[in-house]
Structure 1
């Protein structure tokens, strides 16, 4: 185990030499922490700069695989590295992925709230910019999906299968 300059055990506390959290704990497919030593799902690398089309394609693959937590990381990278005028779009998409994550974890209230918040951000961005299909995405369809899922999650009050309920970012005609 390594120690920091203050003598604390960095590895025992899951911290780097500067004391920042390393988040090295294994996680399941929905981003929930697993016990140390467990085999988790590979984490999505953070801080990757992708072309917008690549972000959409990678996020869709992760959503389809039932990994909305990981898709959220892709959207968050786009939000942080993209142009300022697109921040609301990518942040809204990240909120939708987190809402789906919470709904799959059984957090009905949080899931529905984040799905609605993300849908609102995406719809507001689309309205303000006049862009309904940026990078091939169907924002009208994505917004409708989120609002319908939020209502269904609240009505059923149960966790959902994230992969089975994943949105089609580019609509039904595109994969």
Structure 2
């Protein structure tokens, strides 16, 4: 699992907004006026949190062990983490695609995004941005399933943009042309769908097995 507990401080309209999340997901925690006294904690944690009490990996870096559902929404501590249902090891880009495709089919797009994001970060070839586009596609599907149409439109648009350069030279058998067309179509669908109402998008095959 990727670390999900990084905290940022973002100034918007003279207010400080606490945000945490991974590369593509951000969740607003709290907004505080700059006119009020504000004590910023060290190590990126919120005031009142003891950094030594946070979950950390073997290198001492903080991460979040809070369980999540198939859409990445936090569950109460002690609840069953659905991520365990989709924990699959893979050793190649092709296997990562197989796993992500299965997760999307099983309505677990958040976990598919984690697989694809790991592949994106690990890739050192010209295909790196293709993986980024695939991860963004999965995030767009997750936003739509949460009822966040604005987020879905934004991420599917970025996915289309990042996938398009690989339409004529797709690595690992990825069906880039079909996925770009699908993203563009779903952007229109999400634009017309009422915000706040869940929408499950059926993703086509990610790749042709080699």
TM norm structure 2: 0.66
Spell out, residue by residue over 1:137-158, the C-alpha distance to the aligned partner (whole angstroms, 9 max, x if none). 2111111111111211110223
Spell out, residue by residue over 1:50-97, the C-alpha distance to the aligned partner (whole angstroms, 9 max, x if none). 312111111101100111111111111211112331111000110111
- The number of residues matched between the two structures is 157
Q: Name whichever structure is richer in helix by fraction.
A: 1
Task: Work out the CA distance in 1 between the residues paired with 2:87 and 2:105.
Answer: 18
**Pairwise CA RMSD:** 2.5
Uncovered stretches (5+) of structure 2, i.e. residues with no partner? 1-49
TM norm structure 1: 0.78
Task: Work out the CA distance in 2 between the residues paired with 1:25 and 1:71.
Answer: 18
Uncovered stretches (5+) of structure 1, i.e. residues with no partner? 1-7
The match for 2:97 among 34, 56, 61 is: 56
Flag as ranges the 4+ runs of structure 1 deviating above 3 A. 8-11, 13-20, 43-46
Q: Which residue of 1 aligns with 2:178?
A: 141
Against the structure 1 CA distance between its residues 155 and 113, is the aligned structure 2 distance closer, same or farther, given a 3 Å change threshold? same
Structure with the larger RCO, 1 or 2 (CA within 8 Å, 6+ apart): 1
Q: Name whichever structure is richer in strand by fraction.
A: 2
